[in-house]
Amino acid sequence: MAGAEHDELFEVKNSLYIGNYQCCINEAQKVKTSDDAVRVERDVFLYRALLGQRKFGVVMSQIKASAPPQLQAIKLLAQFLQDPQQHTSVVPMLESLLSSSSLDPGSVVIALAAAAVYCHMDNYEAALKVLNQHDTLECRAQMVHCYLAMHRQDSARRELKALQEKDDDATLTQLAQAWIHIAAGGEKLQDAYYIYQELLDKNTSTPVLLTGQAACFLGQGKTEEAEAALQEALDKDPNCANTLVNLMVLAHHTAKPQDVSGRYLAQLRDSHKNHEVVRDLLAKEEEFDRIVKQYAPVSA
pLDDT value of position 90: 96
* pLDDT tens figures, 222-252: 999 999 999 999 999 998 999 999 999 999 8
- According to the model, what pLDDT value does residue 276 have? 81
pLDDT at 270: 87
**Which pTM was predicted?**
0.89
Question: Can you give the pLDDT of all 300 residues of the chain as single tens digits?
Answer: 334 344 689 999 999 999 999 999 999 999 998 899 999 999 999 999 999 999 999 999 999 999 999 999 999 999 999 999 999 999 999 999 998 865 565 699 999 999 999 999 999 999 999 999 999 999 999 999 999 999 999 999 999 999 999 999 999 999 999 999 999 999 999 999 999 999 999 999 999 999 999 999 999 999 999 999 999 999 999 989 999 999 999 998 898 888 888 898 898 888 888 788 877 887 787 787 788 877 767 665
pLDDT of residue 273: 80
The per-residue pLDDT for 261 is 86
Please give the Cα distance from 39 to 283 (Å, whole number).
Answer: 44
Spell out a b/e string for 79-108, using b for 16 or more CB atoms within 10 Å of the CB, else e.
bbbbeeeebeebbebbeebbeebeeeebbb
Is 144:110 a contact under the CB 8 Å cutoff?
no
Q: What is the 3-state secondary structure (H, E, C) of 149-183?
A: HCCCHHHHHHHHHHHHHHHCCCHHHHHHHHHHHHH
Domain ranges of the chain: 187-272
Reply yes or no on domain 187-272 having CATH 3.40.50.300: no
CA dihedral 222, 226, 228, 234 (to 10 degrees): -170
